[in-house]
Chain A
C-alpha cells in the first residue's frame, strides 16, 4: 500500500481536482476516481524513489512539532533550503511525513 502522502502536492491536488470535475459532470464514477488516485500514489512513490537524485540541505528554527495518526508535522520558521544550484529562503514551512518506517 503506497503512501497517500503525496496527494497534497501540486501534482496530487491538480489530479484530484480534475477527477472531481469529471465526477461532477458524471463522466467517471467516484470509485474509478479512487482507483486513479491509488494508481497515482504508486506511480509517484516509484518515480520519486527511482527518478530523483538530488540532495538538499536546510536549516531553520522549529516552531511546532506534531505527531498524530502516524504523521509528523513540523512547522519551521526562517528556513533556508540550500541546493547545489540555488538557495531558497522561506519564512514559514510545513514539513509532513508519515511514520510508516524507514528506508
Chain B
C-alpha cells in the first residue's frame, strides 16, 4: 500500500475484517450449496463499494489493482478515440451476455471538452455490430430539443444510453432513453440490477462534474418499469416528452430534476412536473379532489335546499380555506423543491457524521455531559476513523 507505517489503521482493519467474514462465511455458502464464485462476487462487490465510498484508502488485492489498472488503460484508449458508436456496440454485446457489472469511473483526468464515462463489464469487452444501437442512439439524439446538445453519453453495461445533455442555461441533466430500455429489456436481467448500477453511476458523476447536474431517472421507477413496463416508462417518457416539448422550460426541468432527486413520491412528481408548465398532462395527474362534507362541492348526498342556501355564505369561506389548503398542498411540493437544493449542499459535505460505538460510562451533571466510549467507528466528513477509547465533553 502507498500509506506509511504510521498512517491510518482503518484500511488494514477493514481488510482483515473482510477476510475474516469471507472465510467464516465460506462454510455457510457451501452448506447452502452456493457456488464459491458467488462468494468471490460478494467480496468484490463489498470492496468496490468501500473503494467508491472513499471513506477508506487503498486497494485490497493485487488482482483488483491489476483489474482497475487494465480498465483504466482501456478507458483512456477509448477516450482518445472518442468513438461513441463503438462503445455503444460494445455495450450492447455486453448486455447480451447479461453478466455482472462493475461500475468503474475513470480518474478525473478526462479530456475536455468531451468526456465519456463507460460502465463496463469487468470481464470482457467485445466488438459488436453497429446496427440496432446506432439507429436508436441517432433517434434518441434527434428526439432531444433543439436547444439541447448531447454533451456526454453515459452508457451502462446494460445498454441504456444515458445522455448527459447541456441545456441552454448551462445546467446538465441526464435523460434516459426509454425506447432503448424497451428494446433491451428482453436481453437484460431483472431490472433490480439496474438500480444499484445507475445509482452508483450517477452518484459519483454528480460529484465529478463541476456544473449542476440533475437526474430525471428514478432508480425505483426503473425497477417498476422492468416489472410492469407501465409506471416507470410512463414517468420517464413523460420526462422525455416534456423535454422534447418545452425546450424553453429548461429551468423548470432543472427544478423537476432537483425534485426528482429528492425522494418525492412517484405520484407527486408528475404533479410537480406538470404544474409549473401547465401542460394538458396536468389534468390527468392532479391530486384527488378532497372530500367536502358540505358546500357546493358536496360529495355526500344532497340535502335540502334550505340547508344548502344557509351554508352558502359558509361555503365561500370554506372554499377559500380549501383553496388555500389546496394551494398550500400545491405549494408544499414546490417549497420542498427548495429544500432539496439545501440537502444537496449538505451532501456536498458528504454524509452525516456518525459515530457507532459502545460505552463505558455516561455521566451528567446538570447540563454537563461526560462520555466515556469505547470500540467505535466514526465517519466524519466522509472519512472513516476508529478508536478503542474516546472521552468527550458536551454541554446541553
Contact = CB atoms under 8 A, between A and B. Distances in A.
B390 A56 contact: yes
B353 A92 contact: yes
Interface string A1-32: 00101101111011101111110110111011
Contacts of A103: 360, 374
Contacts of A24: 190, 192-193
Given A17-B196, A53-B388, A55-B390, A97 B34 contact: no
A94 B55 contact: no
A96 B354 contact: yes
Contacts of B371: 58, 74, 95
A35 B359 CA distance: 26
B16 interface: yes
B11 to A, nearest CB: 11
Interface residues of B, number: 67
Interface string A30-44: 011001100110111
B360 A5 contact: no
B378 A81 contact: yes
Contacts of A74: 369, 371, 394
B389 interface: yes
B13 A52 contact: yes
A14 B392 CA distance: 29
Contacts of B32: 28-29, 31-32
B170 interface: no
Given A36-B21, A52-B387, A88-B380, A14 B352 contact: no
A47 B13 contact: yes
A5 B45 contact: no
B45 A72 contact: no
Interface residues of A, number: 69
A54 B386 contact: yes
Secondary structure dominating the interface of A: mixed
A8 B356 contact: yes
Interface in B50-67: 50, 53, 55-56
Nearest to B29: A32
B352 A94 contact: yes
B395 A28 contact: no
Contacts of B390: 55-58
Contacts of A100: 358
A53 B100 CA distance: 39
Contacts of A49: 375
Given A58-B392, A94-B353, A3 B14 contact: no
Contacts of B189: 25
Contacts of A81: 378, 380, 385
B52 to A, nearest CB: 8
Contacts of A28: 29, 32, 34, 38, 42
Contact of A60 (B378, B388, B394): B394
A43 B356 CA distance: 15
Interface string B35-57: 00010011001100110010110
Given A6-B377, A11-B384, A102-B361, 4 more contacts: A10-B50, A28-B32, A48-B388, A65-B369
7 contacts: A10-B379, A18-B42, A47-B16, A62-B367, A90-B381, A96-B356, A102-B360
Interface of B: 6, 9, 13-14, 16-18, 20-21, 24-25, 28-29, 32, 34, 38, 41-42, 45-46, 49-50, 53, 55-56, 100, 189-190, 192-193, 196, 352-362, 367, 369, 371, 373-381, 384-396
Query: Which 8 A-B residue pairings sit nearest by Cβ, starting from the closest?
Result: A14-B49, A18-B45, A24-B192, A62-B394, A62-B396, A58-B392, A93-B353, A56-B387
